[in-house]
Amino acid sequence: GIIRNNPLLKGLNVTIPYKEKIIPYLEQLSKKAAKIGAVNCIKITKKGKLKGYNTDYYGFKKSLQPLLQPHHKKALILGTGGASKAVAYALEELGILYTFVSRSKKENALDYKYINATTFDNFQIVINCTPLGTFPNLEECPPIPYDFFTEEHIAFDLIYNPEETTFLKKAKAKNAQTKNGYEMLVLQAEKGWKIWNE
């Protein structure tokens, strides 16, 4: 009631770990949010209904695109939460095949312990969608064999605080191209602003 009946409020953003949990509380979903199965942007409609959108996929897609070269064909998505679903959707739109990596046994996901040199040969993009390495836990990073990164790889971290996570530092040490989540954050926010003011 507080959200719906506030005349000053046009909408809000949803962050980790609520991007999937929020869905049952919404009356409407945009087509893309429904396909993705995660919401990071809510609009309060003129009739006081809550409509869910996903602007993460747009921010990620626009942020990754300039880095892509013809040999970047497949991606590993570290994590299986709401953010990783948006990343998967963006990769689909870019024509990049992907595989999820998870700590818990999941049907469509690879276990961290099976990632090796061959995996890195096959997957040229590695995207961290886990919160590992976020401030204040700066030393943490996903448990992958960083030595197999090369200059042919892209390491993309959705985290933007700190600016350079341990994940990015270790990949950069092997000459991988690296990018953090700051531009994605800005782009998804601008998209949200448009949705609220339409």
Q: Please, what is the Cα angle at 40 between 177 and 109, to 5 degrees?
A: 60
C-alpha–C-alpha distance, residues 53 and 43, integer Å: 8
Q: Which fold has domain 57-184?
A: Rossmann fold (3.40.50)
Tell me: the pLDDT tens digits for 26-73? 999 999 999 999 999 999 998 889 999 999 999 999 999 999 999 999
pLDDT band at 1 (very low <50, low <70, confident <90, very high): low
pLDDT for 150 equals 98
| pTM of this structure | 0.94
Is the per-residue pLDDT at 189 higher than 70? yes
10 Å CB burial of residue 93 (0-12, 13-18, 19+) is exposed
Whether 178 has a pLDDT exceeding 80, the answer reads yes
Size (the chain), residues? 198
The one-letter code for the residue type at 144 is I
Predicted pLDDT of residue 16: 82
Q: What is the average pLDDT across 72-91? A: 96
Report helix angle 82-94 to 56-64, nearest 10. 50
Other CB atoms within a 10 A radius of the CB of residue 186 amount to 14
Instruction: Give CATH 3.40.50.10860 domain extents, the chain.
Output: 1-54
Q: Over the stretch 122-131, which tens digit does the pLDDT of each residue have?
A: 999 999 999 9
Give the pLDDT confidence of 92-108 residue by residue, as tens digits: 999 999 999 998 877 78
Predicted confidence (pLDDT) per residue in 143-172, tens digit: 999 999 999 999 999 999 999 999 999 999
Q: Is it the case that residue 135 has pLDDT exceeding 90?
A: yes
CATH 3.40.50.10860 fits 1-54, yes or no: yes
Contacts of 36 (CB under 8 A, 6+ apart): 54, 57, 85, 86, 88, 89
Write out the catalytic residue numbers.
Answer: 19
Number of H helices, E strands in the chain: 6, 10
Assess whether pLDDT exceeds 70 at residue 133: yes
Position 44 scores a pLDDT of: 94
CATH 3.40.50.720 residue spans of the chain: 57-184
